[in-house]
Chains A and B, each alone.
Chain A
Amino acid sequence: MADVQGEQPAAHELRVSVVSADQEVWSGAAKQIIARTMVGQIGILAGHEPILAILGAGEVRITTPTGELITAQAEDGFLSVDHDIVTIVARNASLD
């Protein structure tokens, strides 16, 4: 689990945390997130408007600033974006 408590990400980055009921699964910086909501796919870049979306079945793909791709299973949860802070919340979230 990356610890980003101390460092401030650049303005064009997203701060992401993936949390499940009993722990924080992953947190760190990202430049893009692709998730599947109840009504379809959603792509999130920095500067996205605040949104609260219910996640549907499927994986969440997080691209880190270095281009690394992280996929997480976060079924049955929701996603919130607020001032470039993205929280992916699911009862049973896990990284692949």
Chain B
Amino acid sequence: MGAQLRVYRQRIKAAQTTKKITRAMELISASRIAKAQARVAASGPYSRAVTRAVSAVATYSNVDHILTTEPEKVTRAAVVLFTSDRGLAGAFSTNIIRESGELVAKLQSEGKEVVYYTVGRKAAAYFTFRRRASEQIWTGDTERPEFSRAQEIGSALVEKFVQPESEGGVNEIHIVYNRFVNSVTQIPEVIRLLPLELIEDDESADGQAFPSYEFEPDVENVLDALLPVYIESRIFNAMLQSAAAEHAARQTAMHSASDNADKLIKDYTRLANNARQSEITQQISEIVGGADALSSAG
């Protein structure tokens, strides 16, 4: 077998093996999207109830609470990045890192110091490589987030938020995550968690304003209790969305990888056929040439 032909055959083999892997990953991701989406939907009632309650309290109370009041001067802001643990998901993590870069540039131009919190091994690796400090890193369960992890992240953030500025506390919390729109679209979202930006969606959706609630024991206590609950629920929602988006991004990426492998196999098969044919042609002409030489010599 000719050297060139052997090289082409090797390439075809390699592309075929890769295709098997990418096809398997594509199918796995496809099956997990539905599950991840179901979890997003299942957590919906909780986050809706929490958001509604927080909006209701914030709208109908004039108390000065850390949750709702805008600080006069923001010196430090926390940015939480939700990336994935594993790669091979297209621009999933890169998008988050790019979006957060824009956000950080904006915050810094406003004179705010930025404190990073990262979720997922991809962000952790990015930060370590660039020797950028991250206040806290959570890795290991971006594909199937548990509520306990959201609680952990939430309490770390709330602790930082209620800390006085002089001791390193932050005045703002931003989160950057991929929102799952459908299996081909995932949009990186940048949201300011705290201080609270009131979302008017609920009111318009229900067609009725919030009633003037009675609070038990009192407004301050209710707000105190709701603060961590709200943060946790938003973070949990971000984690679930991000997990669903990750599977979707991986499915898309692996689908195009399989398609590319198919194309490579096709191209190399053509080249290999060509090489084989020209090898045969060459052999024939060598034999004919040799026979001619022998007969003319004899």
Contacts and interface: CB of A to CB of B under 8 A. Distances in A.
B229 A39 contact: no
Interface in B169-197: none
Interface of A is mostly: strand
Contacts of A21: 43, 46, 147, 150, 232-233, 236
Given A19-B45, A87-B49, A50 B147 contact: no
Interface residues of B, number: 31
B97 to A, nearest CB: 28
A78 B211 CA distance: 17
Contact of B226 (A22, A23, A78, A91): A78
B211 A38 contact: no
B250 to A, nearest CB: 23
Interface of B is mostly: helix
Interface in A51-96: 51-54, 77-78, 80, 82-83, 87, 89, 91
B46 A52 contact: no
B214 A50 contact: yes
A17 interface: yes
A73 to B, nearest CB: 16
B74 interface: no
Nearest to A21: B147
A38 B221 CA distance: 10
A54 B222 contact: yes
Nearest to A40: B216
Given A39-B217, A54-B222, A77-B229, A19 B212 contact: no
Contact of A22 (B43, B211, B215, B216): B43
B45 A78 contact: no
B276 to A, nearest CB: 59
A40 to B, nearest CB: 9
Nearest to B151: A91
B232 A91 contact: yes
A42 interface: yes
Interface of A: 17, 19-24, 37-39, 42, 49-54, 77-78, 80, 82-83, 87, 89, 91
Q: Kindly list the 10 A-B residue pairs having the minimum CB-CB distance in the complex, ordered from nearest.
A: A53-B216, A50-B211, A19-B45, A21-B147, A23-B42, A51-B214, A24-B45, A54-B225, A52-B213, A89-B49
7 contacts: A20-B46, A21-B43, A21-B147, A22-B147, A23-B42, A39-B216, A50-B212
